[in-house]
Every structure is written in C-alpha cells, then in structure tokens.
C-alpha cells in the first residue's frame, strides 16, 4: 500500500505548529487569540495544500472555528456575505449570463479574428479580444468557457497546421489568466485583496482605481505572454505562413449569428453592458458605488421587458461556492489583523529591508505560490494579510504590496492542474493541444518575465498613477 506523502507532510507541519502554539512559554508576547488564529490558519492552509477536501468547506470550517473560539464575532463571519464586493460579483455574473445568451462574443470574435492575415496578427488580435472579455465576464473559468467555442472554430480552420493549433490552445488560458488583473471583477482573489486592505490598513480601492492600475499591466503582460507563447511553440516557417479565418468558419461553432444585422436583444444587451462599464469607470464623477451600478444592470438584464435572460437562469451561473469561500476567507483575514497574528508573523522580518527588495520578495513568493496552493483565491487569502502587515512594518505602501502580490499570483501556468482554464484547454477531445512539457517550457520563460513586469509596474509605473512605493 502506497502512502500519499503530501497530505501526511502537510498534516504533520500543521499539528507541529499547533503543538508549539499551545505551549504558553513559546512565542512570548503573543496573545491567546493570536495563537488560536495562527493555529486555525495553519490547519486551513495545510488542508488546502495537502487534502482533496473542497476549499470552500475548509474555509467555512476555519471561519466557524474562529467564531466559536471568540476570535471574531458571528456578525463578522456572516457580515462578509453582505460585503459590497460580493454583491458586485453576483450582479456581474448575472450580466455575464445575459451577454452569453445573446451571442455578442461570437460577433466580436468574428470581427477581430477575421481581420488577421499573419500568424502574429492572429495572436495579438486574439489576445486583445480576450483582454476585453475581462470587462464582460467575471472569473477566469467563466471566460475560458466563453472562449472555448472560438478556439474550436480557429482550430478547425487551422486543422492542417498542428503547431498553430497547439499554440492557440496555450494562448487562450495564458491570456485569460494574466489579463484578469485588468478589472476588480476579474478574479475572486481581487475582491479578497480589496477586503483585506480595507480591514487591515484602512485603504479602499474602487473599481476605477483598480482599472487604472490593473488594465495597463493586463495589456502589457498579455501581449508579452502572447509573444512568449508564439516563440516557444512555433517555428519560423509556421509564423511566416499567411492565415485567413472566415466568419463562416466561426459560425459553425456558434449557436447565434456572428454576421448580419443585430437583433434587438443584442442591441439592448450591448447598450446595457457599455453603460454599466462606463458607469463603473466614471464612479468618481457620479459617486454611485460599483455594486449598486451592477445591481441596476442585473435587474435590467433580467427584466421581463428589456432583459435577455431570466433571473433564475442567470442566478444558476453564479458560483455560490466561490462566494462562500470568499466570505469565509475575508473573515479569516479580519481575524489575522484584529488578533495581532499577522503582525506577529511578520515582526521577525529584518527592519532594514529596502522597499524594492521587499517588493521583489513579495513578487517572487507570490509567483511561485501556485505550485503549493492551486486556488487563486486561497493564495490571496494566505498571502495578502501577511503582505499587508509586513508592508506596514517595512514602510512600504500596503496598496502597492497587495496589488503586486495579487498580480504576481495570477501566474499559474506550470502544470495542467494549476488553474481551471489551463485544465480546460489541456484536454479537448478531437483537437490537438499542449502537453505538460509545453507548459513547463513556457513557464520557464514566462514566470521570470511576468514577475519582472509586475515589479516594474510596482516601482516605476504605479507611482506615476498615484500609488507610491512607500507610505
């Protein structure tokens, strides 16, 4: 009988830490609540790493344990579900369901990809289209599902050029993951980061500020990754040959028309989505919170007269498990901050670390974290509270540190199981796709490139946009 060492090792580490925390003479200066918080936090993290138990179940158990032991109140635990960012995500999924139902995405794909005449044009037009989807569909797994039919159409049109098909199979999840940082609703991890910043540092990031900081990084990293994918998976002869994708070829994999006159439903949905995005981006002018704008948009999108989807059908697309996970981990973040546990963990860091060195360590650790924690939200739940506490102690702007950690944690391309979009495109029946060796080759190039780009933005670009490196 073979023993699975990973869960056993994780359990041993967690129990050993809990045993050390249980001895009063160990770690002088740490309060009882901080000890309880660290014990629960260690057990939850090791369970996320080393067991097949659902991440949400673990997070809810940890939140319940912190409530029962009195570290946080029941109002704190349950109140996280009423956080505006949670409502923002719920309403964004309702809007996404309306967009998906109308088939606007197919028209956009036919318009953009149909203009490509070279392989490089095809790659960068596809990249641009995938970046734009971050504004219409929240969560990377939802965007991957929306983009899959477009990939299948491209794969069929390029069936006689296998290496190009493999390249596109790798391009889609790569860009989807890296471009998520463009918007606040791009990933659940972003909402966790915003909540932790507010609870631990009193810093609030709105939709507009995130867009201002994240969109340039998303565009730069996505197109840089597109070049990396192109150069690591194709040969010069592949890139020199011309391409031509017709709307008819894309239509074969789309249930709704991709050409011709727009239907009334498509026009209404496009107008609604455009209005919502404009209102999100102009929040400083009208002062209406993004969650309220999203709720108005969701009500209109599902209304009997103007909507394109029924509310009960749209609500079925909402990942309730993810929302519960986010709420529970927000409560864990509150416990880490309020109990003093996070401050104690980072108190042993050297005091003379320069801001650039500190941010470099944050980016490197966050980039590599996907090898241990596969859930993007779990990575932010573990890293961001510690990063924020350490940043305050090191004199670094906690907003810069938290954003750098969250952006760097968006890299998760090393293994097929590292992220849901990577898993989805790794195994498509009847279509050639990438192998684990292709992923490793790309990761060897892309990991240092994306880490360096995030660090560059943190120290050179974001200060120009109003977010300095130091407090």
- What digits encode the pLDDT tens for the residues 15-46? 666 776 666 666 666 777 888 888 888 888 88
Angle between helices 290-301 and 84-102 (to 10 degrees): 30
Label residue 10 by pLDDT band (50, 70, 90). Answer: low
* Average pLDDT for the chain: 82
Give the range among 24-38, 54-68, 303-317 with minimum mean pLDDT. 24-38
Give the range among 173-182, 381-390, 445-454, 455-464 with minimum mean pLDDT. 381-390
- What digits encode the pLDDT tens for the residues 382-434? 888 888 888 887 888 999 999 999 999 888 888 777 778 888 888 778 788 88
Residues 303-324 have a mean pLDDT of 84
Label residue 120 by pLDDT band (50, 70, 90). Answer: confident
Residue predicted with more confidence, 307 or 360: 360
Q: What are phi and psi of 407, to 5 degrees?
A: -65, -45
Read off the tokens for 2. 């073979």
Q: Using alpha carbons only, what angle is made at residue 387 by residues 35 and 403, rounded to the nearest 5 degrees?
A: 145
Residue 275 pLDDT > 60: yes
- What digits encode the pLDDT tens for the residues 284-306? 788 888 889 889 988 998 888 77
Residue 374 pLDDT > 80: no
Separation between Cα atoms, residue 150 and residue 145, nearest integer Å: 10
Residue 252 pLDDT > 80: no
Label residue 3 by pLDDT band (50, 70, 90). Answer: very low
Separation between Cα atoms, residue 297 and residue 34, nearest integer Å: 42
Half-sphere exposure of 446 (CA within 13 A, CB side): 32
Residue 1 pLDDT > 50: no
The pLDDT value recorded for residue 254 is: 65
Residue 365 pLDDT > 70: yes
Separation between Cα atoms, residue 148 and residue 111, nearest integer Å: 17
Closest by Cα among 344, 350, 333, 336 to 27: 344
Residues 119-125 have a mean pLDDT of 87
Residues near 255 by beta carbon (within 8 Å), at least 6 away in sequence: 103
- What digits encode the pLDDT tens for the residues 80-109? 888 887 888 888 888 888 877 777 777 777
DSSP state string for 350-404:
-TT--HHHHHHHHHHHHHHGGGT---HHHHHHHHHHHHHHHHHHHTB-HHHHHHH
- What digits encode the pLDDT tens for the residues 223-234? 999 999 998 888
Read off the tokens for 197. 């910043």
Give the range among 139-148, 222-231, 439-448 with minimum mean pLDDT. 139-148
Give the range among 120-129, 248-257, 386-395 with minimum mean pLDDT. 248-257
Residue 320 pLDDT > 60: yes
The pLDDT value recorded for residue 13 is: 66
């Amino acid at each position: 009988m073979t023993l699975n060492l990973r869960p056993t090792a994780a359990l041993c580490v967690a129990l050993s830490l809990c045993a050390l925390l249980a001895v009063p003479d160990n770690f002088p200066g740490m309060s009882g609540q901080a000890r309880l918080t660290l014990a629960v936090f260690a057990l939850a993290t090791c369970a996320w790493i080393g067991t097949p138990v659902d991440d949400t179940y673990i997070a809810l158990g940890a939140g319940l344990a912190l409530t029962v032991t009195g570290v946080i109140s029941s109002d704190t635990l349950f109140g996280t579900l009423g956080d505006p960012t949670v409502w923002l995500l719920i309403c964004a999924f309702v809007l996404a369901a309306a967009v998906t139902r109308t088939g606007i995405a197919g028209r956009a794909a036919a318009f953009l990809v149909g203009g490509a005449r070279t392989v490089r044009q095809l790659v960068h037009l596809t990249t641009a289209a995938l970046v734009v989807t971050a504004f219409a569909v929240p969560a990377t797994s939802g965007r991957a599902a929306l983009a899959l039919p477009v990939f299948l159409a491209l794969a069929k049109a390029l069936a006689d050029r296998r290496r190009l098909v493999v390249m596109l199979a790798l391009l889609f999840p790569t860009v989807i993951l890296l471009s998520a940082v463009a918007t606040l609703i791009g990933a659940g991890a972003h909402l966790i980061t915003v909540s932790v910043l507010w609870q631990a540092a009193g810093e609030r990031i709105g939709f507009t500020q995130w867009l201002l900081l994240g969109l340039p990084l998303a565009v730069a990293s996505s197109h840089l990754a597109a070049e990396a994918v192109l150069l690591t998976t194709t040969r010069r002869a592949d890139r020199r040959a011309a391409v031509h994708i017709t709307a008819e070829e894309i239509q074969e994999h789309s249930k709704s028309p991709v050409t011709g006159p727009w239907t009334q439903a498509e026009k209404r949905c496009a107008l609604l989505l455009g209005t919502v995005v404009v209102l999100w981006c102009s929040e400083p002018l009208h002062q209406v919170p993004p969650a309220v704008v999203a709720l108005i948009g969701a009500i209109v999108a599902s209304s009997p007269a103007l909507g394109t989807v029924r509310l009960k059908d749209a609500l079925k697309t909402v990942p309730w498990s993810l929302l519960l996970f986010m709420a529970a981990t927000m409560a864990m973040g509150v416990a880490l901050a309020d109990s003093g546990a996070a401050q104690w963990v980072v108190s042993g860091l050297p005091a003379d670390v320069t801001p650039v060195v500190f941010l470099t360590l944050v980016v490197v650790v966050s980039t590599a974290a996907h090898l241990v924690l596969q859930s993007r939200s779990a990575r932010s739940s573990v890293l961001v509270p510690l990063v924020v506490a350490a940043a305050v102690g090191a004199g670094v702007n906690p907003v810069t540190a938290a954003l750098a950690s969250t952006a760097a944690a968006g890299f998760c391309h090393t293994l097929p199981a590292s992220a849901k979009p990577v898993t989805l495109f790794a195994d498509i029946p009847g279509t050639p796709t990438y192998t684990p060796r292709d992923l490793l080759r790309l990761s060897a190039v892309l990991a240092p490139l994306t880490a360096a780009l995030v660090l560059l933005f943190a120290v050179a670009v974001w200060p120009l946009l109003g977010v300095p490196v130091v407090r």
